[in-house]
Chain A
Amino acid sequence: MSFHPPMEYTPAKFHRSERKLAEPGEPFTYTAENQKKFDEVVQRYPPDRRKSAILYALYLVQNQQGYITAAGMRLVAEQIRCTPAEVEDVVSYYTMFYTRPVGKYVLNVCRTLSCALLGAERVTEELSAKLGIKPGETDPTGTFTLVEVECLGACDRAPVVMVNDDWHEGLTPEQCATFVDDIRARGQSAFTGCHLRKEGGPAEAGPYERK
């Protein structure tokens, strides 16, 4: 005989977790080119350690469809030969993976100390006002997503904004409005990129080649 009171598993008593499930998404497969890239990269790791390529596999999914859906995670699980739950475990940990649709340009404003000392909070405010969205949101046209992130590792050029995989350095609050217009007009060429020249150094030596 049990000493515990009887438990009722009626729908009224039973609560599912309120955790948002990843969007199922359309059926998903890699393009032939991405599949080739994955097959190549997975060779870098020992044959019984395919799971090491999981981050790379997820980047491929994200680059192909903009964000990571449940269908994408299932594909990665198949490729890596692990369970979808293990893939979701990894996706939910790393901040650079998106599980919801994001804008064409994701503005990641660094908010950690060195950038904050030089006005990163105001940069976020200005961008937020210009775009009419709060940090974490995407504008209605789907062009911009504004995100606050932690240290990007370019503290000498604060405040720094990472836009997708590119950088824009030394963005002052005053420049924010024109910066947004500039991206709308010129796309990627509006970013300064990362330039590693000491102030006072031979900056005139010319930009180094970039791929």
Chain B
Amino acid sequence: MPYQPVLTSHVNEPNSFTLDFYLKNLRGYEGLRKALTQKPNDIIEQVKASGLRGRGGAGFPTGMKWQFVLKDTPKPKYIACNADESEPGTFKDHVLMERNPHLLIEGCAIACYAIGAKVAYIYIRGEFFHVQQILEAEIEKAYKAGYLGQNILGSGFDCDVFIHRGAGAYEAGEETALIESLEGKRAQPRLKPPFPAVEGLYNCPTAVNNVETLCNVPPIVLNGAEWFAKMGPEKNGGPKLFCISGHVKKPGVYEASMNTTLRELIYDYAGGMRGDRAFKAIIPGGSSVPLLLEKDLDTPASFDAIQKAGSLLGSAGLIVLDDTVCMVWLAMNLLHFYRHESCGKCTPCREGCDWLYKLLLRLERGEGQAKDLDLLFGVSNNIVGKTLCAFGDAAATPVLSTMKLFRAEYEAHVREGRCTLPADWRARTPALAGAH
């Protein structure tokens, strides 16, 4: 049986974001109605049994996260929805929020009910203002229809969902940095423990969940944990959104089960390589994960299988690279990103990213020396594992991974004093077919 989309089944239809459409075609708010007849703990058990893993990048089981939220405390509890989608190559939450916002709203309400929170904050990145406008209008409709606010559906449960607009900080996607930003400070990570489940927003127990994670909750409540777990390999159940970008014919967001291999995603879903050029490498989970090569393409795109192949599924942002891409340039481009986005709290990352970028720039221009390669390796290894959050590891990964897999290209840059790939590769900008 072909895969039936769950989260994005109707996103291509006009007005799919409206409340009427959601109620009519997507069994809207039935999950919430069903959840409110059950005990909060039962919902956590269901989510645990489903094996739902966080879709933001770490792949941590959501049910466990909710269970860790401190329950016997007089403090209020919070849900913080991470809609600060900034990982390069990732654009899935964007689709969900713009085309299926009520699924997220329903997910937030169920999550609040499960952990005993009364407020959910959706932290949306500042650049998604057009998404925010849609989401705000739809939240207002949900309030009017009685799916949010006081005494929801006559159950006595109160829940508010508020939007909090960020202002351009990649680091705010890290859960403690997101909490700091919600509190009105710089988005810088905190020392853990205490984890947010114990002391999060306003020092109260908080669960920070990705948009896609919360969107998976209503279908689980509605269809049962078993249905969800069966969809995909063991411990990697459920629908998954894959964002495919780079040198493919049809870039976009595709929903599939995690049984799907990388090859199927590239050649069947995304239409194959642009210009039918040769495949060189793929970044399978947003810019922060190691690259995979042609030989790894038959790996199923699941958290465990990709990890076994030596990378991470991360946020499932697949960036496909063809044979024209210079790997030194790629590392330089990404380090420019990390250098700019490093929050500056930990010295290894703040200083290290800057130095990595300078070294890579020098190499890319053909002014590098042989000893720079050792220096790159040394600086990278002095960032990994020495920072408060995973940003440091993420920043060093493009360098370490490209050096491991494509060391010959680095050496050629040093030896020849230039890039040995065809000189015009960067000028090659295929027009986006049918974009306008």
Query: Once the chains are docked, how many angstroms separate the CA of A203 from the CA of B13?
Result: 9
Q: Which of A13-41 contact B (CB under 8 A)?
A: none
B238: interface (CB < 8 Å): no
Q: Does B184 contact A (CB under 8 A)?
A: yes
Q: Which residue of B lies closest to A154 (CB)?
A: B91
The reply to whether B14 and A205 contact each other, CB–CB distance below 8 Å, is yes
Main secondary structure of the interface of A (DSSP, over half): loop
A118-B432 contact, Cβ under 8 Å, with A95-B169, A156-B251, A167-B130: yes
- Which residue among A157, A194, A197, A208 has the maximum number of chain B CB atoms within 10 Å of its CB? A208
Query: Is the CB–CB distance between B170 and A46 below 8 Å?
Result: no
A173 to B244 alpha-carbon distance, docked (Å): 22
A53-B184, A199-B433 known; A95 and B336 CB under 8 Å? no
Give bound CA distance, A121 to B426, whole Å. 9
Q: Does B362 contact A (CB under 8 A)?
A: no
Chain A residue nearest to B125 in the complex (CB): A153
- A97, A116, A157, A200: most-surrounded residue (chain B CB, <10 A): A116
**Known: A154-B91, A208-B17. Contact between A118 and B169, CB under 8 A?**
no
Q: Is the CB of B137 within 8 A of A211?
A: yes
With both chains docked as a complex, state the minimum distance between the C-beta of A81 and any C-beta of chain B, in angstroms. Answer: 11
Q: How far is the CA of A150 from the CA of B173 in the complex (A)?
A: 14
Residues of B within 8 A of A169 (CB): 435
B167 touches A97 (CB 8 A): yes
Q: A54-B184, A170-B436 are in contact. Are A94 and B16 (CB under 8 A)?
A: no
Nearest CB on A from B423, distance (A): 14
Q: Which of A197-211 contact B (CB under 8 A)?
A: 197-203, 205-211
Q: How far does the alpha carbon of A55 sit from the alpha carbon of B243 in the complex, in Å? A: 29
Smallest CB–CB gap between B318 and chain A, Å? 10
Closest to A52 in B: B184
A210 CB, min distance to chain B CBs, angstroms: 7
Total residues of chain A contacting the partner, CB 8 A: 66
Complex contact A155–B89 (CB within 8 A):
yes
**A23 to B91, alpha carbons, bound, how many Å?**
37
Closest B-chain residue to A200, C-beta based? B250
Residues of A within 8 A of B110 (CB): none
State A206–B13 Cα separation when bound (angstroms).
Answer: 9
Chain A residues near B245: list those with CB within 8 A.
114, 155-156, 158
Q: How far is the CA of A1 from the CA of B244 in the complex (A)?
A: 70
Q: Are A208 and B429 in contact (CB under 8 A)?
A: no
Q: Nearest Cβ in chain B — how far from A102, in angstroms?
A: 14
Establish whether residues B167 and A150, one from each chain, have CB atoms under 8 Å apart when the complex forms.
no
Min CB distance B155 to A, Å, is 23
Q: How far is the CA of A119 from the CA of B325 in the complex (A)?
A: 12
B55 CB to closest chain A CB (Å) equals 15
CB-CB under 8 A for A205 and B167, given A113-B89, A172-B429: no
Chain B residues near A199 (CB-CB < 8 A): 250-252, 433-434
Residue in contact with A96 in the complex, picked from B89, B98, B168, B182, CB distance below 8 Å: B168
Which A residue sits closest to B126, measured CB to CB?
A: A96
Known: A169-B435, A170-B436, A172-B432. A113 touches B333 (CB 8 A): yes
Across the interface, do B244 and A111 meet the contact criterion of CB distance under 8 Å?
no
Given A113-B330, A196-B98, A95 contacting B429 (CB threshold 8 A): no
Residues of B close to A156: CB separation below 8 A: 91, 243-245, 251-253
Taking a contact as CB atoms under 8 Å apart, the answer to whether A93 and B186 are in contact is yes
Q: Mark A126-169, 1 if CB is under 8 A from B, else 0.
A: 00000000000000000000000111111111100010011101
- B95 CB–A CB distance under 8 Å: yes
Q: Chain A contacts of B160 at CB under 8 A?
A: 44
B117-145 vs A, CB cutoff 8 Å, 1 = contact: the mask equals 00000000111111101100100000000
A117 touches B15 (CB 8 A): no
B170 touches A150 (CB 8 A): yes
Contact B162 A44 (CB under 8 A): yes
Q: Which residues of A contact B436 (CB under 8 A)?
A: 170, 192
A192 to B436, CA, bound (A): 8
A residues within 8 A CB of B13? 202, 205
Q: Which residues of chain B from 66 to 102 have any CB-CB distance to chain A below 8 Å in the complex?
A: 76, 85-91, 94-95, 98-99
Interface string of A86-116 (1 = CB under 8 A from B): 0001100111110000000000000111101
Judge whether B1 is part of the interface by a CB distance below 8 angstroms. Answer: no
CB-based contact A113/B88 at 8 Å: yes
The complex places the Cα of A46 from the Cα of B94 at a distance, in Å, of: 28
Let me know if A89 and B429 touch, CB within 8 A: no
Tell whether, in the assembled complex, residue A113 and residue B287 are in contact, meaning their CB atoms are under 8 Å apart: yes
Tell me, rounded to whole Å, the shortest Cβ–Cβ distance linking B348 to chain A.
Answer: 20
A56 at the interface (CB under 8 A from B): yes
Contact A122 B427 (CB under 8 A): yes
Which residue of A49, A52, A122, A162 has the most chain B CB atoms within 10 A of its CB atom?
Answer: A52
Beyond the given pairs A196-B94, A206-B14, 16 more chain A to chain B contacts, judged by CB atoms under 8 angstroms and listed by A's residue number, are: A46-B202, A51-B184, A51-B185, A94-B166, A96-B168, A112-B333, A151-B88, A153-B85, A172-B432, A196-B98, A197-B12, A198-B253, A198-B254, A199-B252, A205-B14, A210-B130
B: residues with CB less than 8 A from A are 11-17, 76, 85-91, 94-95, 98-99, 125-131, 133-134, 137, 160, 162, 164-170, 181-187, 202, 243-247, 250-254, 271, 283, 287, 317, 319, 321, 325, 330, 333-334, 336-337, 340-341, 343, 426-436
A-B contact pairs, 25 of them (CB 8 A): A44-B162, A46-B202, A49-B184, A51-B184, A52-B182, A55-B164, A55-B166, A55-B181, A89-B185, A93-B186, A95-B167, A95-B169, A113-B334, A114-B319, A117-B325, A119-B427, A150-B341, A151-B287, A153-B94, A155-B246, A158-B245, A170-B435, A172-B429, A192-B436, A198-B252
The 6 tightest CB contacts between A and B, nearest first, are A119-B429, A170-B435, A51-B184, A94-B167, A155-B245, A95-B168
